[in-house]
Copies of this chain bind each other. A is one copy, B any other.
Amino acid sequence: MGNEIRVTVWNEFRHEKINEKVADIYPEGIHGAIAKFLQAQPDINTRTATLDEPEHGLTDNVLNNTDVLIWWGHKAHKEVSDEIVEKIYKRVLDGMGIILLHSAHFSKIFKKLMGTSCDLKWREAGEKERLWVVNPGHLIAEGLGEYIEIPHTEMYGERFDIPQPDDLVFISWFEGGEVFRSGCCYNRGRGKVFYFRPGHETFPIYYQPEVQKVITNAVRWAKPAGGPAPKFGKAAPIENITVYEG
């Protein structure tokens, strides 16, 4: 109980309300689908939050009791308040893990954590994708085969304008001729950041077992590590040394 990883799954939750096709695929919202398979894990305790709730569902109380935040957004990045983004940012630097899915590459929080534009190339042709595991010693690759195949998806292609990942776990191949760094790990402050590409709203990708496995592994990888809180600012003086002033 006390050892459960407390996950908050955040979703913009707009496509599902206005697009019948998306609503058919994700009747409980993308957040609902993700929360469901995570909740089935004995070591994970899940709640959800969405854009249109007060404070986007991310009150101080929620954030302070979240070990790992999962983020899905697409068409309303600009509606996320700067104040909430700042709070998430501080929590990440303080140790909260964050997992950003698919179109969240353009979320305010991801761009702020990366320090780059996070821009990319895209195509909606429902083409085939293969995510090759290039770091089979990484926790996020636990239990996978040598690649994950997604039969139909939107393409994201390089150049993906991100800093070089601290660990690169997946590289995607696309039918149309592109590649993409699809599973990227970063350290920011005491927190861990994982960007994972799969998950377009018009395809049932979050029901695919291997995709669920990756997100579940990423939660375990991204949980706070419990290292020392940094002490910033004025340091202790040096004993027995006369200050030199030039």
Interface residues in chain A, defined as those with a beta carbon under 8 Å from any beta carbon in chain B: 21, 93, 95, 112-117, 119-127, 130, 132-139, 141-146, 152, 155, 157-161, 163-164, 166-168, 171-179, 181, 186-192, 202-203, 225-238, 241, 243-246
Given contacts A115-B115, A123-B235, A126-B244, contact A135 B155 (CB under 8 A): no
Contact with A226, one of B142, B179, B227 (Cβ below 8 angstroms) = B142
Interface residues of A: mostly helix, strand, loop or mixed?
loop
State in angstroms the CA–CA spacing of A132 and B21 once bound together: 34
* A143 engages B230 (CB within 8 Å): no
* B146 engages A228 (CB within 8 Å): yes
Number of copies: 4
Given contacts A93-B116, A243-B125, contact A227 B138 (CB under 8 A): yes
Q: Which residues of B contact A21 (CB under 8 A)?
A: 246
